[in-house]
Structure 1
Amino acid sequence: MSRWLLACLLVLMTGLAGATTPSSEQTLRAVAFEQKVGDPLPPGLSFTNQRGERVELDSLASDKPMLLVLAWLECPNLCSMILDNLALAVGKLPFGSGTFDVVTVSIDPREAPTNSRKAIHRLGQKYGSGVENWTFLTGEEQSIKLLADAVGYRYAYDPERDSFAHPAGYVVVAPGGMINRYIFNTEPSAPDLKLALLEAANGKLGSPVDQIVLRCYRFDADSGRYNLAVMRIIQVVSLIFILGLVALVWRMRRRNGGD
């Protein structure tokens, strides 16, 4: 379901729903986002960041969770919207700077650090200086394709239009480089991103209360969103009640022993 939803959105955003040529229709059929939860990012993939430095992608996810976005930086429609909506949601997260990474990898091998800096400047003007801490990566076609295959990102280049047909979404990567979740909503909410990062961090991010709240939600892989889980809420409330009762009995016994 999510595959067709994303393909339809792409058609609407890029104007390919009109008089499409056979090659354009074939290009659109190649677009998909296959979930590969539990798979690792390919080790040793090297890209160039916005400062012109060579970095290995897996090193960026070594010790903290990552929000990974594959995008065409010069895309006039869908990718700009994806990055804008992500910046808006990330700006509402309660986590401090440096507790997680946001990494955007260009799918166009012709793009360079200048394109990355241009994207950062545009986002920074609209959403503040926090975007400057993001990492934008460009690289060779082989590295891009290896990464895209690893995360299930199916895209295609349309030479007739000199454009890329591609899906939309965000990949949540756990510390160590394992794919943990996919968020397919092109307008991700801050609560969904928060829960996804908490889950990926496995207790290394957020407060104890955040960890309790996380257990009250269930992730829907089809919609890419978190929903309240009634049974989990009952379990959490029951556990809190039992712990409170045990604490009360312990305090009463201690008080009686002191008397």
Structure 2
Amino acid sequence: MTSPARTPAQFTADLHAYAEKYWHHHPFHLRLHEGELTADQLRLWIANRWYYQARLPQKDAAVIANCPVAEVRRRWTERIVYQDGAADGQGGHEEWLRLAEAAGLERTAVLDGSLLLPGVRFATDAYVDFARTRPWTESVAASLTELFSPDLMRRRLDAIKTHYTWIAPSGHGYFTDRPPVAAADAEHALGLVIAHCATRAEQDAALAALSFKCDVLWSMLDAIEHASEGTTESGPENAA
């Protein structure tokens, strides 16, 4: 016997429950927030997180390509413009590259992928492939990790200002600008998932998609954590 569909309230609660799988619990993030990373470890994180940031517009383009609803496509396009910017020198990508430079990384070294870890590449590419091959509603559901991200980004900015003062303020922009945008995007995506996943099977698929995305993010940090083991840089950059 097929289980009945969840009520909107229950479905919403089940989606929010995945906060417990979100990567804010990962040991690497915990160490970042406590000021325990060396400068090289933080730079490794920044350089590898760039690859994820850079691939988001391609993921969002795949959502648009798979979606037959014009209204959804129009609104979802805003995500691409936010990251790529309306012109050169604008957008979330530019803000992340400024963070990299403020942390002492060469922009070219970030862009050319010379610091990219295979595990981060694999996890990120799996996410983009998911968006290309799965129904658009599942890809939208996977994006709902944004439900949990605004508070994490605010905490991260506080940690950078408190513990990593060697990072120039010019690198703070992404974490200042992104939380309200992420909250608005998450609210929109949640409404789409609740409205368009009407059957129990569709709801189950949406929950599985969100679980998959949590695994993608966790796997990225696993790769970075493993690569950063044994890094024991010393010096004024590491002073809290």
**TM surpasses 0.5:** no
> Greater relative contact order (Cα 8 A, min sep 6): structure 1 or 2?
2
Could you say which structure has the larger radius of gyration?
Answer: 1
TM-score, normalised relative to structure 2: 0.30
Q: Which has the higher helix share?
A: 2
| TM-score computed with the length of structure 1 as normaliser | 0.29
